[in-house]
Amino acid sequence: MDNREQALAEIKEKLKTHLIEHLNLQDVSADQIKDDDPLFGGGLGLDSLDAVEIVVVLQRHFGVEIKDMEVGRKVFQTVNSLAEFIYEKTHA
Amino acid sequence: MTAADPVSCASPPPARPRPRGRGNALGFWFFRTALRFTGLRGAYGLLYFVAPYYALFDRAAIAAAGAYLRRIFPKQSPLARRLATCRLFINQGKCLIDRGAHNVGHVDFRFDTAQVEQAGAALAGKPTGFVLLLSHVGGWQLALPHLRNLTEARPVSLLMNEAETPDVHAHVRGDDAGFHVISPEAGPACVVEMVARLQNGEIVSIMGDRAYGSQTVAVPFLGEDARFPASAFAVARAARCPVLALFVAKTGVVSYAMEAALFAPPAPDDRQSTRKAVALYAESLEEFVRRHPYQCFLFDDIWGTPKA
């Protein structure tokens, strides 16, 4: 595993933990959240208020902000896309 | 796998049917003609023939108004309630006529904006924008064109579902209205857009008293728990910006008073802060409607259980 993959794996793990805590996902462990499951409209079944919470998680725990709606549309898809975005922002 | 949200209702919001429009082309023509040839008072006069019809025979309209009237006037007799329904419809009609008159430039309305200017001064120079919270009271739609003069030329975006509010959408799109419309149908992306715009110092306007299918929180309003949308304060919490609630009271035939209530950003580290902020907004709204009980056009049973 190279450095990028290792960093991404760590981000995903941390991200899942924060999502469970902040979104109050009951009876869900980090292992049960698949990296490529859709976050909205299926998968985790999140809604727009949860999207607000994810914005807060990204700001508070990863120090990153999404300022563009188109970027947001791409990033708010899966844990993978969120982690990629965080990695790009924090390792630029 | 469920997302149990301590802030919002656990149940998913019900899909709302598109609201049924009232009146027809001929009816609107009468109002436009009366407005043109007899001015506001003549057009208002027609309402005294039309509103009693709806207050007596339109069961959906009577039920929609009744949810509010039962709470604001709990001791009313059935006859008094029917008269109150009629009065409420007449007042709503006057505000709609005013909007039409304002759009075509027939009448110069006077707006007392002292309170809003005071609140605007408190927000001046802040790097973040603010959420502008509107409510279905008085001439709220007439307030929109004035926002550009009261907000240091900050861009204003309106969160608006075109399918739910086609007339308002046409109104803010018309002429040089100059508002950017954010559609909630964009899902999570619209949240990102709202937060980004607020953090860039812009203003995002959201209706505070009707959920339009979004998630709600139950807070006390007129003596019982009522469901208010949580989105405005949730977005303000994410953007760490204040919320300015605007209430527009009709105070005379051509005069309105714009009242304002400013709320600090909900604490970002406390998700319950959203609920607390919504409760404070509901308190302000209650205080307004108790002073202007016939200017609350919240024709939605926000106290009832959501239909599945």
Contact across the interface for B199 and A27, Cβ inside 8 Å: no
- Inform me whether the pLDDT recorded for B1 exceeds 80: no
In contact, B294 and B257? CB cutoff 8 Å: no
Closest CB to B5: pick one of A24, A60, A65.
Answer: A24
Collapsed DSSP state (helix, strand, coil) of residue B219: strand
pLDDT on residue B30: 82
- Look up the domain containing A47 and give its range: 3-90
CATH of residue A79's domain is: 1.10.1200.10
pLDDT tens-digit map of A24-65: 787 788 888 899 988 887 777 788 788 888 988 998 899 998
A50 to chain B: which residues are within 8 Å by CB?
3, 5
Query: How do strand B255-263 and strand B130-138 relate by DSSP bridges?
Result: unpaired
In contact, B203 and B224? CB cutoff 8 Å: no
Alpha-carbon Rg for chain A, nearest whole angstrom, is 12
pLDDT tens-digit map of B205-259: 888 887 766 688 999 999 999 999 988 999 999 899 999 999 999 999 999 999 9
- Inform me whether the pLDDT recorded for B14 exceeds 80: no
In Å, how far is B13's CA from the nearest CA of chain A?
10
pLDDT tens-digit map of B37-53: 888 999 999 999 999 99
Closest CB to A48: pick one of B6, B188, B271.
Answer: B188
Number of domains in chain A: 1
pLDDT tens-digit map of B145-179: 666 655 566 888 888 876 655 555 555 544 445 67
pLDDT tens-digit map of B84-100: 999 999 999 999 999 88
Closest CB to A49: pick one of B8, B192, B193.
Answer: B8
